[in-house]
Amino acid sequence: MPGKNLSREEAQQRARSIDLDGYRVHLDLTSAPDPAAATFRSTTVLSFRSSAPGDGTFVDLLAAAVRSVTLNGRALDVAEAFDGARITLPALAEQNELVVEADCSYSRTGEGLHRFVDPADGETYLYTHFEPADARRVFATFEQPDLKAPFTFTVTAPAAWDVYANAVHEEITEDGGARTWRFAPTKPISSYLTAVVAGPYHVARDHYGCELPDGTRLEIPLAATCRRSLAPYFDADEIFTVTKQGLDFFHEEFDFPYPFGKYDQCFVPEYNIGAMENPGCVTFREEFVFRSKVTDAAYEGRANVVLHEMAHMWFGDLVTPKWWDDLWLKESFADFMGSFAQVEATRYKAAWITFANRRKAWAYRQDQFPTTHPITADIRDLEDAKLNFDGITYAKGASVLKQLVAYVGREPFFEGARRYFQRHAYGNTVLTDLLDVLEATSGRDLKAWSAAWLQTSGVNALTPQIDTDADGRITGFAVLQDGGTLRPHRVAIGLYDRDGEGGLVRTDRIELDVDGARTVVPELAGRPRPALVLVNDDDLTYCKIRFDEVSLETLREGLGSIRDDLARALAWSALWNLTRDGLVPTRDYVDLVLRFAGRESDIGVLQSLHQQAKGAVDLYADPAWRAEGGRLLAEGAVRELRAAAPGGDHQLAWARFTALVAEEPEQLQLVRGLLEGTERIDGLDVDQELRWALWLPLAAAGAASGEEIERELERDNTASGRRQLTQCLAALPTPGAKAAAWAAVVDSDELPNALVEAQIAGFAQPGQRELTAGYTEPYFAMLEDVWAQRTIEIAMRIVGGFFPKYQTTQAVLDTADAWLDGHPAAAPALRRLVLECRDDLARALRAQECDRG
């Protein structure tokens, strides 16, 4: 498989004969402020050994041009050695030095070295993002995780800029209008973990110190950066507080000192993901710098990401998966540890509620696709790897680890982690390396557990089966398990009844192991039948919760009266799964949201309910009831907005939900009134981010002109403002707006990643089905060209974003099936994306049938 898409077999073959001594990389970024300059100079000096002298190998490089390649002092013919993605290295010596000089391209897609010009002040900013395999867009490298080495970066940049990399800088020299930054060598790390951030970034600094068990003191310089135009909104003190709390927690639990010297956290523009765990230089999407009022759920979410990335310093950076098959060895652990550390070390004590309600919803959805895979996946190549940063690798893996802690105990789990770090520091691992230490510390044989949980796919459903006598006492209680491979589950069964004030409270809890199709629970026999049975109370395992009919009726009558926040969140999650599975009619779920969401105290759960209710009406409702469902949601949103406590998180959440669902003239009039100041709701600050949220429904309904919306940019000529203007203009209900959005994304590759995302988001409006129906055929026609011609990041957005998901008809489903049947040789990753979109559409049709009754 020559070319960009490195296969696992090629990586294994290369690793068998190559050992690295180190990289020296010099990047000349002085051209970056010139918009006409498309490239930068990259020089790589790579020292390595070969166990098969005389044989050849190759290094990876994606460059606009290669100026020279010198191997062991001998110049190679560039035209012969470089094929556009790889440099062939013939006749290796035992000890080798490779020097590659190249012109590499500045990126607009967030892959490689991304360049951004701030519309607020004209300043230019750069940052890198490499995972899984884009370091080769910046320097010549062996682009695979198991070929670790120290990296020494030297960066020449405009004199007014600062430069950040994985290690501390050792020297800065100035020459005319440029400064050259020389950084210390890193510890041995994988190429995808290297990082460079450069530009006139605003920086805040702090310091962390702690006593180590051997009596020495660990000192870690801290920095947090953002663009200068965002500095007035940058709450670095809050970020440093969470950072220090996390470092305290991980040092206590892991007993391995943070190994990478400094700890910089850089908030960067147009970032494709939430964050990246580059050791010593973590990068975050700058949307975590809040320009306007957000709910506490946003701060909790940011803290979770900070701790997730920090956990990676050990799980992923210190000890790295050998190949992407074991991606879960870092991502599942970081996802689990992010929530665990939040609850134990920060003020965000509801993190497990958020995990149960939001992260696991992602896992349940991904795990029910026909493309689902085990947590330890079969990753054949880099395209497979890119698609496996998904809900299974992250959220399902974290859920399974949560259950593992319940199964083996907290202390054996963390002792296993400590031994894992000590044994494999700066190395690479596979699944058995982790299981070996956990078996040693827990005394349990984990091979069967691993086979059931890590090496199979799919989600089980657990259902209580309850028999009672004439007096209402339990005569038989069992837990039924179905859904593919049956697994051992450590669960808590919660029994809930009404208290004196009508609230549903837990009256008893039984913890047990569920295994097989039917597990009898004899200790519950003879007890009064409770009003509600929750079979995965405390969310110990990964499963879909089902209810017996009495419990389901209890929820219909009083879901909002469940006193415990986590139990209530689990009930909401279970009902959402029942709706998605076509077992509860959409209109019933919407009714529950309308009756009980206003009483929901957890702001994160409330915001999830808003998104789910909107999605249910748009996708799962009987088309004949869809308009009525939308009207009921909009009326309910306005009612709750007016009733919410002034100035609070709930008021802001309901205001945003009102903007999301406003379609009728009455709601649109309120939206416009809030924008123009003719309508006021006590305590609601219509700040800039809320203003853009209010413009979007007006645009989509045709209740605002493009000229009106463009004038909003005079108030907010920022990167965020331009993204949101782009989305609003693409949302206009005219053929011209849709054609322009389609052409800007599909027919051109000039837009940066952030504006591609904004165009797609505006194009796809659920209330414009007739307007966009004509794009179904062009969508399927362009798929293979897009996949072949665009970077994988942009191609994934186009394939997923333009799929006609709101055209919920059998005809469109048949068209998707015809494409899949007619393109068996299409790239496997492309087929996977289309198949998942097709499966979402089929699910929508099943849910609609349920809603019709």
C-alpha–C-alpha distance, residues 730 and 751, integer Å = 14
Token look-up 């094929």 returns 83
Tell me if 132 sits within 8 A of 167, measured CB to CB. Answer: no
Q: Which two tokens stand for residue 71?
A: 């191997």
C-alpha–C-alpha distance, residues 98 and 207, integer Å = 39
Active site residue 712: no
C-alpha–C-alpha distance, residues 136 and 123, integer Å = 26
Which stretches of 517-622 are DSSP H helices? Answer: 549-558, 565-580, 586-596, 603-615
Q: At what angle do helices 776-789 and 792-801 cross, to 10 degrees?
A: 170
Phi-psi map region of 36: left, alpha, beta (phi>0 left; psi -120 to 50 alpha)? alpha
C-alpha–C-alpha distance, residues 547 and 549, integer Å = 6
Q: At what angle do helices 735-746 and 719-731 cross, to 10 degrees?
A: 130
> Which of 677, 367, 706 is closest to 543 using CA atoms?
367
Residues 6+ apart with CB under 8 A from 597: 606, 609, 610, 613, 636, 640
Count the neighbouring beta carbons within 10 Å of the beta carbon of residue 590.
26
- Which 3 state secondary structure label does DSSP give 496? strand
C-alpha–C-alpha distance, residues 566 and 357, integer Å = 9
Count the neighbouring beta carbons within 10 Å of the beta carbon of residue 627.
14
Q: Which two tokens stand for residue 409?
A: 């105990």
The CA–CA distances, whole Å, from 540 to 274, 398, 507, 512 equal 26, 11, 18, 11
Residue 497, beta-bridge partner list: 505
> Which of 310, 308, 305 is closest to 251 using CA atoms?
310
Count the neighbouring beta carbons within 10 Å of the beta carbon of residue 777.
11
C-alpha–C-alpha distance, residues 474 and 492, integer Å = 18
Token look-up 């429904």 returns 697
> Which of 349, 348, 343, 389 is closest to 366 using CA atoms?
389
- Residue 257 identity: P
| Catalytic member of 101, 300, 309, 415 | 309
Return the active site residues.
Answer: 309
